Amino acid sequence: MEAPLPGPAGRHAAAGPAQRSCREAADIATILPPSPRGAAGSRRGSGRARRAWLATAATLAAAVCLLLAQVPASALDAGTPSPVTGNATWFTGLGSPYGGCGLPQANLDTQNFLALNVQNSPGNYTSLPRPIPAADASEIGMFDNGLNCGRWVQVTIGNYCTGINDGAPNEPFCRNGSWVPDAYNGAALDFVVADSCDDGNAWCKDDPYHVDLAQASLNQFILNGQPVGNMYPSHWNNRQVSWQFIPAPSYTGDIKIGAIQGAQPYWPAIAISHLPNGIHGVQFYANGSWQSGQMDSDMGDDYIIGPTTGAGTGGTQYQIRVVDASGNLLNNGEIYSFTLPAGCSTSPGGGSPSPSPTPSPTGTPAPTPSPSPSPTGSSSGCTLTASVVNSWPGGYQVQFTVANNGAAAGTGWTAGFSFGDSAETIASSWSATVSQSGAHVSASNASYDGAIPAGGSVTWGIVAGSGNQALSGLSCTIF
């Protein structure tokens, strides 16, 4: 059975008191048959691989519901109506405790998984806030702010590069060489989208159709009915591939619903997996009408919902339905009814649960203005900025960007800031090692995101367990 999944909010959240409280949860979901109400309303290659992300899955305890009947997959209607061609790189596994789509590696339908580019910004290797705001919509990559999470992709091997294909910024792909066919052309394999590529290299920023493949899958591509066996490493060199979205192959059963670790009445967050055709939204029933849930940042498999008594109330009953990548209600508007596991009923640090957040009518949070960063020393060549990307009564989520303004690449970074109130506490964090002393917070790079090229940036984040969003003393150093 599925457990409460790691969270809240962010791609690499550290477990805090609230997360621990959810690990003894009971079953979350039961299935309701369709009702009249329901029917009507119904890193990149050698660059990222060097980081050696560890695929450590979170501890599982409960929360899944399956239908016995098969749900037919919907036809593909968006994204790549015909195959596209791009460079392919590899990475060792999803980050801990989960990947960019919000699911642990152990909870994926397949271990053949890939990452799509967050950004499409040729020549610009600085990362935008995530989710990418509407003002920068022209730079949204194929990750599509998480909307392509959970979709299946068929990847076909293309030509081999005889030159240098290292994804260096401002350098052409396959320089000093050429693309040539070989014995591996035409090998194919199906992958699920489970992660995002936002590194400051040419693959993740210059190539709109770049895909980052799980390393263990490279020699599993099928050609003439057999795995290729030995394409990697001698015949790899970040080959060209063609790819296209497809419905989930041989789909049976129904979706799985899990409570994110840290989910509770003030932050009722769920993760949805085993999707027949991706996920473009979650609707929850409240006060007599269907309302749009809010994606958790740009993790497209995770949504924040509300109880049947309305967001911001103490309700414990939830009813949802799911919108797939084609914009259709899944399984003709099937309604899924559940309560949060008992272990998820405590607010961060104990005490009475806080109210649930109010979902955005569009399902996408509108980022609020970033706090003004403090000046940094010229020797560090570093700027730290912060943006509140989500908030609710009693808490908020902040995304930080560490930008390398220097002329040389860095191998690590540190950052710091101060809360406006010494009573502020960090409920969780991701993509950084974070500590707090009084109102001051210190952070340093995680094992996989220390390298920042000149002109590049990395992002990390926190969830704070209070409502005071005033941050000061933002600073950072790159070394």
Between 314 and 200, the higher pLDDT residue: 200
Say yes or no: 229 and 142 in one domain.
Answer: yes
Which pLDDT belongs to residue 165? 95
pLDDT (tens digit per residue) in 23-80? 222 234 433 322 222 222 223 332 232 222 222 222 222 222 222 222 222 222 345 5
pLDDT (tens digit per residue) in 184-206? 999 999 999 999 999 999 999 99
pLDDT (tens digit per residue) in 147-178? 999 999 999 999 999 999 999 999 999 999 99
**Which of 329, 364, 399 represents a domain boundary (last residue)?**
364
Q: Which domain holds residue 391?
A: 382-478
- 129 near 148, Cβ under 8 Å? no
Report the CATH number at residue 472.
2.60.40.290
Mean per-residue pLDDT, 335-344:
83
Distance CA 263, CA 308 (A): 16
**Phi/psi at 164 (5° precision):** -95, 125
Whether residue 374 is contained in a domain is answered as no
Say yes or no: 321 and 457 in one domain.
Answer: no
Say yes or no: 319 and 391 in one domain.
Answer: no
Mean pLDDT of the chain: 77
Report pTM.
Answer: 0.65
Query: What's the per-residue H, E or C state across the chain?
Result: CCCCECCCCCCCCCCCHHHHHCCCCCCCEEEECCCHHHHHCCCCHHHHHCCCCCCCCCCCCCCCCCCCCCCCCCCCCCCCCCCEEEEEEEECCCCCCCCCCCCCHHHCCCCCEEEEECECCCCCCCCCCCCCCHHHHHHECCCHHHCCCCCEEEEEECCEECCECCCCCCCCCCECCCEECCCCCCCEEEEEEEEEECCCCHHHHHCCCCEEEEHHHHHHCEECCEECCCCCCCCCCCCEEEEEEECCCCCCCCCEEEEECCCECCECEEEEECCCCCCCEEEEEECCEEEECEEECCEEEEEECCCCCCCCCCCCEEEEEEECCCCCEHHHCCEEEEECCHHHCCCCCCCCCCCCCCCCCCCCCCCCCCCCCCCCCCCCCEEEEEEEEEEECCEEEEEEEEEECCCCCECCEEEEEEECCCCCCEEEEECEEEEEECCEEEEEECCCCCCECCCCEEEEEEEECCCCCCEEEEEEEEC
Whether residue 30 is contained in a domain is answered as yes
**Which of 335, 364, 393 represents a domain boundary (last residue)?**
364
Instruction: Return the percentage of the chain with pLDDT > 90, whole number.
Output: 55
Say yes or no: 350 and 401 in one domain.
Answer: no
Say yes or no: 45 and 148 in one domain.
Answer: yes
- 147 near 323, Cβ under 8 Å? no
Which pLDDT belongs to residue 393? 67
Which pLDDT belongs to residue 305? 93
Whether residue 264 is contained in a domain is answered as yes
pLDDT (tens digit per residue) in 411-443? 999 999 999 888 888 877 877 899 999 999 999
Token pair 């199906």 in the structure block, residue:
190
Q: Which of 207-211, 230-234, 451-455 has the lowest mean pLDDT?
A: 451-455
Whether residue 438 is contained in a domain is answered as yes
Domain count, the chain: 2
Judging by DSSP bridges, how do beta strands 432-437 and 440-445 pair with one another?
A: antiparallel
Q: How many Å separate Cα 181 from the centre of its chain?
A: 34
State the pLDDT confidence band at 95, using cuts at 50, 70 and 90: confident
Say yes or no: 182 and 210 in one domain.
Answer: yes
Say yes or no: 172 and 293 in one domain.
Answer: yes
Say yes or no: 279 and 355 in one domain.
Answer: yes
Whether residue 428 is contained in a domain is answered as yes
Question: Burial code of 416-440, b = ≥16 C-beta within 10 A, e = fewer?
Answer: bbbbeeeebbbbbbbbbebebeebe
Whether residue 396 is contained in a domain is answered as yes
Between 225 and 374, the higher pLDDT residue: 225
Say yes or no: 305 and 221 in one domain.
Answer: yes
Say yes or no: 317 and 454 in one domain.
Answer: no
Which pLDDT belongs to residue 462? 86
Q: With 50 as the cut, is the pLDDT of residue 308 above it?
A: yes
Which pLDDT belongs to residue 293? 94
Lookup: tokens for 355: 């109210």
Mean per-residue pLDDT, 325-342:
92
Say yes or no: 326 and 410 in one domain.
Answer: no
Judging by DSSP bridges, how do beta strands 211-214 and 84-91 pair with one another?
A: parallel
Token pair 């497209």 in the structure block, residue:
300
Whether residue 373 is contained in a domain is answered as no
Nearest to 384 by CA among 400, 406, 405, 407: 400
Whether residue 372 is contained in a domain is answered as no
Say yes or no: 360 and 389 in one domain.
Answer: no
**Which of 364, 395, 426 represents a domain boundary (last residue)?**
364
Distance CA 417, CA 441 (A): 5
Mean per-residue pLDDT, 229-240:
96
